[in-house]
Amino acid sequence: MGKTVPETIRHLIIVFGVLAVMMSIAAGLIWVERRLLGFWQDRYGPNRVGPFGILQPLADMIKVFAKEDWVPPFADRPVFILAPAIIVVTVLLAFAVVPFAPSISVADLNVGLLYFLALSSLGVYSVALGGWASDNKYALIGALRASAQMISYEVFMGLSLMGVVMLAGSFNLRAIVEAQRRLWFVVPQFFGFVIFLIAGVAETHRLPFDLPEAESELVAGFHSEYSGMKFGLFFVGEYLGITLISALIATFFFGGWLGPLLPPAVWFFIKTFFFIGVFILLRATLPRPRYDQLIRLGWKVMLPLALANLVVTGGIILAAG
Amino acid sequence: MLSILRAVWTVFLHLFKRKVTVLYPEERPRIPPRWRGRIILSRDPDGQERCVACHLCAVACPVGCIALQAAEDEYGRRYPEFFRINFSRCIFCGFCEEACPTYAIQLTNDFEMSEYHRHNLVYEKQDLLISGTGKYPGYNFYKVAGLSIKGKDKGENENELPPVDVKGLMP
């Protein structure tokens, strides 16, 4: 290993710090989302537990832990239990490459971007296996929808980031942030940003694209049979996913930790929370499209757009030499 | 595409709109005077029970939540021996109030009747009976009815003539 003891301790602090911060953000988002949705619907949202209702996640957690941990007798038991853990683990692993500040990141991979794409693709196993193991027709439909949606949206999610990679000349997330010192990539890569945002919403199956859950048609989609803490893990995984996508939007297109006056980590969290707010705002606004509309949008609009963006970016870089 | 962005902006602006929620325990909602809430039994201006145990409220009640037993005192005045309303059944329709010939049973504008145990919602006569006259302060049924009771014989009511001697020949 060849590392000194203080350095190892520093690494451990960062690892567990990131873990703790991410888990508490995911829990806090339960309250943030319900509160913001309330405001956008002319209500107050949860405001009773603690000051401004900030202890609501705690109450929810007590409730979810106190629930019976039940596995349906017809379910495929090992897979049923494993599935909710997969999404949390993959998303948490993906946080390893996110640079929160120049000196704060768990791993400084030189293929960080590919690593993130790989792990976000693995996340779909959670939904697909959970729906499959439930042995319930609604869960199965939800799982199949999730798989098809992930395959469709994963493609141009990767393509939309290639423009960023070309501009930065690196797959390393830290290098990508450093390359935005002069100009945030949202300006030259505006279409890339829009495509990545839409793909990110689909990737976390959040409301405009929450067809795997679609509570008005599929009961609760892939997690129909889940209850208690296993359901809670799906929930936490979803919020972690939102945080991850928001953090990556900030990293890839809005200059990550870069910003004047305030410390880098603060800038990073401001940007991340802005995009979490955007996610919730989209949920508050947009209705769910039909399933064929979703797939058509993916393959017929987004994929060509991502390819065109790639070609134009490449051409301009080539012409500029 | 543009309409989507406009929709998102419209929803965002709702952040600054007035909330429609009434923060209930701190902020009281306005209760109209004819609100149909907790049912009470009222008394005459002279402090007697108004209820004459005619059972009309129990008959009118669509859910059958009123139970009572009629009784009579030694002067012929009727009163309910017990009077029981099961508020876990009551739908607060107000039919009992409409049916009541003596203004005894009345609906008030109190609605805070939550209980942890269902049987606590069965109100007995001592829970229902109030000391005042409720919505009709001056009304006294026995003062306008022709019946003779303690302290009032026939013909002694307000605006009432003495009874006619039907066997006499005089005009």
The rounded average pLDDT for each run of 10 residues, N- to C-terminus, in chain A (321 residues) is: 75 86 86 89 85 86 87 87 89 86 79 87 86 86 86 86 86 84 82 88 83 79 83 87 90 83 84 90 87 87 90 88 72
Percentage helix, strand, coil for chain B under 3-state DSSP, each rounded to 5: 20, 15, 60
Residue-level pLDDT at A3? 67
Evaluate if residue B69 carries a pLDDT over 80.
Answer: yes
- Do A281 and B8 make contact, defined as CB atoms within 8 angstroms? yes
pLDDT for B67:
92
Position with higher pLDDT, B10 vs A101: B10
Give the residue, B99 or A223, on which the prediction is more confident. Answer: B99
Q: Give the residue numbers in A contacting B (CB under 8 Å), as ranges.
A: 39-44, 47, 281-282, 284-286
Q: Does the pLDDT of residue B159 top 60, yes or no? A: yes
CB contact under 8 A, A40 and B15: yes
* Chain length of chain B: 171
Indicate the domain borders of chain B: 27-137
Can you tell me whether residue B122 is helix, strand or coil? strand
Could you give the angle at which helices A5-40 and A228-253 cross, rounded to 10 degrees? 100
Nearest to A42 among B10, B17, B23 (CB): B17
Going B66 to B70 to B75 to B77, the CA torsion angle's sign is positive
The reply to whether residue A39 touches residue B21, judged by beta carbons under 8 angstroms, is no
Would you state the pLDDT for residue A55?
87
Whether A251 contacts A171, CB under 8 Å: no
Higher pLDDT: A187 or B82? It is: B82
Mutate which of A285, A293, A301 to test chain B, going by most B C-beta atoms within 10 A? A285
**Contact status, residue A236 vs residue A26, Cβ threshold 8 Å:** yes
What does the pLDDT read at residue B62? Answer: 93
| Range with lowest mean pLDDT among A196-210, B88-102, B109-123, B146-160 | B146-160
In DSSP terms, B107 is beta-bridged to B39
Q: b/e for A114-133, b at 16 or more Cβ within 10 A?
A: ebbbebbbbbbbbbbbbbbb
Confidence of residue B40 (pLDDT cuts 50, 70, 90): very high
What was the ipTM of the complex prediction? 0.75
Instruction: Give a three-class secondary structure readout of chain A.
Output: CCCCHHHHHHHHHHHHHHHHHHHHHHHHHHHHHHHHHHHHCCCCCCCCCCHHHCCHHHHHHHHHHHCCCCCCCCCCHHHHHHHHHHHHHHHHHHHHHCCCECCECCCCCCCHHHHHHHHHHHHHHHHHHHHHHCCCHHHHHHHHHHHHHHHHHHHHHHHHHHHHHHHHCCCCHHHHHHCCCCCCCCCCCHHHHHHHHHHHHHHCCCHHHCCCCCCCCCCCHHHCCCCHHHHHHHHHHHHHHHHHHHHHHHHHHCCCCCCCCCCHHHHHHHHHHHHHHHHHHHHHHCCCCCHHHHHHHHHHHHHHHHHHHHHHHHHHHHHHC
Chain B residues within 8 A of A43 when measuring between CB atoms: 19-21
Mean pLDDT of all residues in B36-57: 90
Residue-level length of chain A:
321
3-state percent helix, strand, coil for chain A, nearest multiple of 5: 70, 0, 30
The CA distance from A133 to A126, in Å, is 10
* B49 DSSP assignment: B
Give B12's contacts in chain A (Cβ within 8 Å): 40, 281
How many residue pairs from chains A and B have C-beta atoms closer than 8 A?
34
- Cα nearest neighbour of A282 on chain B: B8
Interface of B to A at Cβ within 8 Å reads 4, 7-8, 10-12, 14-15, 17-21, 23
Q: Determine the pLDDT at residue B92.
A: 92
Burial pattern A58-95, b for ≥16 Cβ within 10 A else e, equals: eebbeebeeeeeebbeebbeeebebbbebbbbbbbbbb
Q: Which residues pair with B106 in a beta bridge?
A: B40
- Which CATH number describes the domain made up of B27-137? 3.30.70.3270
Residue B99 has pLDDT above 80, yes or no: yes
CA–CA gap between residue B145 and residue B42 (Å, rounded): 18
pLDDT confidence bin for B17, thresholds 50/70/90: confident
Pair A130, A80: CB distance under 8 Å: yes
Q: Which residue of B has its CA nearest to A47?
A: B23
Average pLDDT over residues B115-139: 90
Under an 8 A CB cutoff, do A281 and B12 touch? yes
Is there a contact between A40 and B11 if contact means CB atoms under 8 Å apart?
Answer: yes
- Chain B contact set for A286 (CB, 8 A): 4, 7-8
CB A152, CB A295: distance < 8 Å: yes
Question: Which of A44, A281, A282 lies at the smallest CB-CB distance from B19?
Answer: A44
- The residues pairing with B84 across neighbouring beta strands, listed in sequence order, are B67
- C-alpha distances in Å from residue B40, one per residue of B30, B90, B98: 21, 13, 14
State whether A40 and B23 contact (CB < 8 Å).
Answer: no
B103, amino acid identity: Y
CA atoms within 13 A on the CB side of A321: 0
- What pLDDT does residue A148 have? 86
The pLDDT of residue B45 is above 80: yes
Instruction: Give chain A positions within 8 Å (CB) of B17.
Output: 42
